[in-house]
Structure 1
């Protein structure tokens, strides 16, 4: 079965609201063996709704519509669909009873104005929305299913989970789909594709490999998707190919599914009973932000020093003035002293220190924008790396954060051997 998702709303088209419904719905449909063929975002007009609906019905078997089911004048979806399917609106008592129950939770009673909300197309299957005022509507034509839901994400999720998907499963049979995601950093999409050429060539026709790069932070997700009828066969088959990825990619893999570098590093530090501190110049606290986004990080993370000025580098972290004078703030020597100073100041086993030119200005011929030095430590050991990134300030901050975290991960794994002294 192929599906179209139609999201209605001028607020989405003008960028006032982010369309989270489409991504969530597509994920859930895919998990249930339904392939999304088309996603449309359209205006709150009758012409746009009808045009999108006809395109969707011609191309796919299932059409899921969100938005435009409120009481204001711009909410015209219900009337448009009622006319399109040649039906009439009639008062639907169960929908009004649901509305009364919702109001009762707040000590209120819906007046006659809200009876319009309970008018539903006579001939459509009504999907009671227990977390919102607007019921969903299920239409069928020539074997095609068209479902209309309100646009509020919480209500979309309720109706999809408790009404739409259960009804689809009762009416249709879907193939099984299984996914496995590997998270990789240190190589770009092109390099990874070259490394995995032979691996991809040996994949059976029912297993696909997708590359999902996030160039802003420098991470690529590799997703293996297996399609078939027998879940147990798919599990065995997918597991066979999952095991073949680590020998090819090695330490480029830092996790699976929703793992993040900061979470993986936290687990490594906890296992070793290590503590961590950070000293950041050009990243301005972004590394600390990532680390502290993980619940329970207080068990291993001590603090961060935002050493943006040379004075802070010198007076708080103990970077020698002669180091700054001779080599500058953006240098290997400086980040080494920043890292060592962080260990001493915070009494931690491990430290991350960064200093560089994030941009878009401030560079020089010797140290152009995007020149950044990183140091990571584990007790007495220390490792440094010079980065040459681009001119986009935000991307430089995000990429440096990813690289610094990954360097610490690899250093703890003994995957980096060149030590700076």
Structure 2
């Protein structure tokens, strides 16, 4: 099944809001085995809606539309679709009852006015999708020889509800739908080219029903490897994907493979620390607490995370972490000697088993010829053993902070794997 997404809204075209609906819908369609062909963002105009529907003819089996279903005069989607499909509007009692329920649920001291009665008028001949999250019902148009057209509100929680509770169950009942099974693995430490070279023979032996996709994230450094299988026999697909996933993991090994989707570095680090019964802290300069933020985003991290020192100034580096003034004068804050002393002071003062330290020039200014923007030193380890790494990144401040945080977490993970 091939699909189009049509997002209606001048506020999206003007850049006033991000099109998060399209991002979420694309991921969900993929998980449902639907091939997304195109995403269109159009204005709140009748002709724009009609033109986009005409464009989808012959190219899509499913068209998902969001936006323009509110009770105000600028919400024209329903009226345009009714005209397009040659349907008249009629009062739809279940839709209005849902509106009354929502008014009562939210404690409004009035009943829905005439605007909401108009909103409850729906195209005769369409399947009406009751929206329990909001006042605008969805609509399912299905005519022989044309794509299925589904219209939903643009409010994210309402669109998600209708898609998950109404649309996908209906799609699953359509004849000829194939099953799709996916397994995604998270890698860190090597780029797409190096990993694809290591997996060249693996890809060559994959069954024709299984495809491998490389999905790099240049901001965080993660590389997702997604195995996708399509076919009629779901149980056989699950088994095949699991078998190929096991082969993939054996080839790349635990140092490169972090885990499956959702097993981020901070989560795997927490598992290792809890298993060893050890504690950790961070001392951060250029990352400004981002590493600590990632660690503390994991529920139960209080079992192993003791705290952090955001030592942005040299004064704090000296007073809180014991970095020698001479080191800062001769080597500078962005140096191997400084991060080593920061690590020693962190472990001593926080009384932790392990520490993670960062100090660098995140940018976009502050660089010099011998230490350009993107120069970042990391130190991880224990009182007895330390690893230090110098990074040379670019001049994008946000990326430098995010990437160096991920690299630091991965260094600590590898350190624990070898301990």
> Shared fold (TM-score greater than 0.5)?
yes
**Aligned 8 A contact 2:347 2:382 in 1:** no
> Which residue of structure 2 aligns with residue 360 of structure 1?
364
Equivalent residue, structure 2, for 1:64: 64
Match of 1:279 among 261, 283, 303: 283
Which consecutive aligned stretches of 4+ in structure 1 deviate over 4 angstroms post-superposition? none
Would the aligned equivalents of 1:378 and 1:412 in 2 still touch at CA under 8 Å? Answer: no
Structure 2 match to 1:254: 258
SS, match of residue 135 in structure 2 = coil
Of residues 293, 299, 302, the one that matches 2:297 is 293
Q: What is the CA-CA distance between 1:29 and the residue it aligns to?
A: 2.5
User: Shift in Å at residue 349 of structure 1?
Assistant: 0.3
Unaligned runs of 5+ residues in structure 1 are 416-421
Task: Identify the range of structure 1 (201-210 vs 319-328) with the bigger mean alpha-carbon deviation.
Answer: 319-328
Of the three residues 327, 331, 337, the one matched with 1:327 is 331
Determine helix, strand or coil for the equivalent of 2:100: helix
| Cα-Cα RMSD | 1.5
Which of 138, 141, 145 aligns to 1:139? It is 141
SS for the counterpart of 1:384 is strand
**Cα distance in structure 1, aligned partners of 2:365 and 2:155:** 43
CA distance in 1, matches of 2:223, 2:248: 14
Q: Does 1:91 align with 2:91?
A: yes
**Paired residue for 2:375?**
371
Compute the displacement of 1:379 (Å). Answer: 4.4
**Could you give the per-residue CA deviations for residues 1-41 of structure 1, whole angstroms, max 9, x where no partner exists?**
11111111111112222222222223333323222222211
1:308-328 CA-to-partner distances (Å, cap 9, x unmatched) read 111211121011222222322
Quote the Cα distance in structure 1 between the aligned partners of 2:324 and 2:294: 29
Matches within 5 A, 1:8-47: 8-47=8-47
Aligned to 1:184: 187
In the TM superposition, residue 407 of structure 1 has moved relative to its aligned partner by 0.3
CA distance in 2, matches of 1:31, 1:366: 48
How far off its partner does 1:378 sit?
A: 3.0
User: How many angstroms does 1:198 deviate by?
Assistant: 1.6
Quick check: 2:321–2:349 contact (8 Å CA) kept in 1?
Answer: yes
Greater shift in the superposed pair: 357-366 or 212-221: 357-366
By how many angstroms is 1:67 displaced?
A: 0.7
**Contact 1:329–1:355 (8 Å) recurs in 2:** yes
Pick one of 212, 215, 236 that aligns with 1:212. 215
TM-score (norm 2): 0.95
Aligned residue for 1:363, secondary structure, equals coil
State the secondary structure of the residue aligned to 2:125. coil
1:383–1:89: structure 2 CA closer, same or farther, 3 Å change rule?
same
Distance in 2 (alpha carbons) for counterparts of 1:19 and 1:366: 42
1:116 aligns with 2:135: no
Distance 1:216 1:26 in 2: 20
Which sits farther off after the overlay, 144-153 or 30-39?
A: 30-39
For this pair of structures, how many residues does the alignment match? 415
Structure 2 partner of 1:73: 73
Offset from partner CA, 1:203-235 (integer Å, 9 cap, x none)? 122111111111111111111111111111112
Alignment partner, residue 402 of structure 1: 406
TM-score, length-scaled by structure 1? 0.95
Change (3 A) 1:413 1:141: same
Contact 1:4-1:39 within 8 A present in 2 as well: yes
Deviation track 1:73-97 (CA, whole Å, cap 9, x = no partner) reads 2211011001111111111122112
Give the aligned partner of residue 245 of structure 2. 242
Corresponding residue number in structure 1 for 2:320: 316
